């Protein structure tokens, strides 16, 4: 049966009215729920706090570091010559005074023999002059001249001995002959390198401390270095710079650690932790750290009158439980939820964090 046009119009109007009332009821219900969930605009905001007690804790200054040889020296030739032998193997441990490179002797031995012969001749001339002077056939001046000739001959012998000794380039200290620069047959002029010596016992762990931590570092303070392999080295601070690096504004630090078996190499990355004495500390959640209007890092906490206060803090150590910080005093109700939406001096409603 086909409906008349007037009936179709009536049904359409009724449908539109029904939809309108349904939508209005939903909107009204949502506004009531929102009004019920939202606290009054003139009421104080609610925050959650956690009571954090003060603890006396060993203060640690933590920084990135690396292992480094205590000494690294390029051993150079003192005289000219062709390399005749390289007794020390590259990368091996050598004792102090051990020969690293040996130059060809050439005419140095002949020069020494000639100097010794001249020295013996001058000795005889000096004795003869002294005997003739005793008999009145030589003046004191001639005796002194003979003595001077003898001294000059002795100096020539010493110079020839040194020149002969210089053909052997020796290790200046016990360590590792880390790199050889000269091979057999190479010509070395004075000052050219034979190789590089490094000292690995003791070993250094070096780092750069921030200017905020430099004042707490002391020579002799205990320190630990954790290598990338997981090995932990213990030692003491042997040097703290007094002048900051002009680019990074950090202070160079060196920790000396034993390395008797030379198992730890130079150049390994490490996490360096240096003892800086004891001090008051608080354990706060990482999320509790905020910045104030001046850009300082700190925490917001609640005073006994339920007003908000801000305290700048210094991070001492990061742990899985939270951040150990200094700068707070006594037990503190640190805001853990809502700290970013309140201001200093603002009154709040306090709820203890679960």
Token pair for residue 40? 């009054």
Does residue 29 lie within any of the structural domains?
no
Does residue 110 lie within any of the structural domains?
yes
Does residue 40 lie within any of the structural domains?
no
Cα 63–chain centre separation: 7
Whether the CB-CB separation of 148 and 125 falls below 8 Å is answered with: no
Q: Lowest-pLDDT range, 90-94, 130-134, 218-222? A: 130-134
Are 265 and 307 contained in the same domain?
no
Q: What is the DSSP string of 223-235?
A: EEEEETTS-EEEE
Kindly report, residue by residue over 175-202, the tens digit of the pLDDT.
999 999 999 999 999 999 999 999 999 9
CA dihedral 121, 123, 128, 134 (to 10 degrees): 170
Does residue 346 lie within any of the structural domains?
yes
Strand-pair category, 99-103 with 187-188: unpaired
Closest CA to 231 of 262, 287, 271: 271
Last residue within a domain, chosen from 227, 249, 277: 277
Are 324 and 338 contained in the same domain?
yes
Are 217 and 166 contained in the same domain?
no
CA separation for the pair 182, 79 (Å, rounded): 14
In terms of C-beta density within 10 A (0-12 exposed, 13-18 middle, 19 or more buried), how is residue 32 classed? exposed
Does the structure show a pLDDT above 80 at 354? no
Closest CA to 326 of 337, 311, 340: 311
Q: Residue 241 belongs to a domain with what CATH number?
A: 2.40.30.170
Looking at the structure of the chain, the number of domains it has is 3
CA separation for the pair 268, 205 (Å, rounded): 9
Does residue 185 lie within any of the structural domains?
yes
- The residue among 36 and 304 whose pLDDT is bigger is 304
Q: Give the CB-side neighbour count of residue 134, counting CA atoms within 13 A.
A: 5
How many CB atoms neighbour CB 75 within 10 A? 19
The arithmetic mean of pLDDT across residues 64-78, rounded, is 96
Does residue 22 lie within any of the structural domains?
no
Last residue within a domain, chosen from 172, 195, 218: 195
Q: Residue 163 belongs to a domain with what CATH number?
A: 2.40.50.100
Residue 13 has a pLDDT of 67
Does residue 337 lie within any of the structural domains?
yes
Does the predicted TM-score (pTM) go above 0.75? no
Strand partners for 235 = 223
Are 86 and 186 contained in the same domain?
yes
Does residue 38 lie within any of the structural domains?
no
Kindly report, residue by residue over 268-284, the tens digit of the pLDDT.
999 999 998 888 899 99
Are 95 and 55 contained in the same domain?
no
Parent domain of 140: 77-195
Q: Which residues of 235-271 are buried (b: 16+ CB within 10 A; e: fewer)?
A: bbbbebeeebeeeeebbbbbbbbebeeeebebebebb
The arithmetic mean of pLDDT across residues 325-330, rounded, is 90
Q: Which residue is associated with the tokens 């900051």? A: 244
CA separation for the pair 4, 14 (Å, rounded): 16
Average pLDDT of every residue of the chain: 88
Confidence of residue 38 (pLDDT cuts 50, 70, 90): very low
Are 102 and 170 contained in the same domain?
yes
The arithmetic mean of pLDDT across residues 215-223, rounded, is 92
Does the structure show a pLDDT above 50 at 240? yes
Are 228 and 319 contained in the same domain?
no
Residue 11 has a pLDDT of 67
Token pair for residue 327? 């700068």
Does the structure show a pLDDT above 50 at 341? yes
Token pair for residue 201? 């016992």
């Amino acid at each position: 049966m086909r409906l008349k046009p007037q009936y179709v119009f009536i049904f359409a109007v009724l449908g539109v009215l029904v939809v309108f009332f349904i939508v209005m009821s939903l909107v009204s219900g949502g506004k009531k729920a929102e009004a019920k969930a939202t606290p009054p605009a003139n009421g104080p905001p609610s925050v959650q706090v956690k009571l954090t007690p003060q603890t006396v804790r060993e203060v640690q200054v933590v920084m990135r570091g690396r292992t480094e040889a205590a000494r690294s020296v390029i051993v150079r030739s003192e005289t000219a010559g062709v390399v005749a032998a390289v007794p020390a193997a590259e990368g091996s441990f050598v004792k102090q005074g051990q020969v690293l490179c040996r130059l060809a002797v050439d005419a140095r031995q002949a020069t020494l023999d000639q100097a010794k012969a001249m020295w013996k001749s001058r000795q005889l001339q000096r004795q003869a002059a002294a005997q003739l002077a005793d008999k009145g056939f030589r003046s004191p001046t001639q005796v002194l001249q003979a003595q001077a000739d003898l001294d000059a001959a002795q100096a020539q012998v010493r110079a020839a001995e040194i020149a002969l000794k210089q053909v052997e380039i020796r290790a200046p200290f016990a360590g590792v002959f880390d790199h050889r620069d000269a091979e057999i047959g190479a010509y070395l002029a004075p000052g050219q390198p034979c190789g590089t010596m490094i000292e690995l016992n003791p070993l250094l762990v070096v780092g750069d401390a921030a200017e905020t931590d430099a004042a707490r570092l002391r020579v002799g303070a205990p320190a630990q270095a954790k290598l990338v392999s997981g090995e932990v080295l213990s030692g003491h601070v042997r040097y703290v710079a007094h002048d900051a690096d002009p680019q990074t504004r950090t202070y160079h630090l060196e920790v000396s650690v034993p390395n008797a078996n030379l198992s730890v190499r130079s150049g390994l990355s490490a996490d360096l932790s240096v003892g800086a004495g004891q001090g008051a500390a608080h354990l706060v959640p990482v999320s509790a750290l905020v910045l104030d209007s001046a850009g300082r890092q700190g925490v917001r906490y609640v005073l006994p009158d339920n007003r908000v206060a801000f305290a700048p803090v210094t991070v001492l150590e990061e742990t899985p439980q939270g951040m150990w910080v200094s700068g707070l005093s006594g037990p503190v109700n640190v805001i853990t939820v809502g700290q970013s939406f309140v201001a200093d001096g603002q009154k709040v409603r306090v709820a203890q964090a679960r």
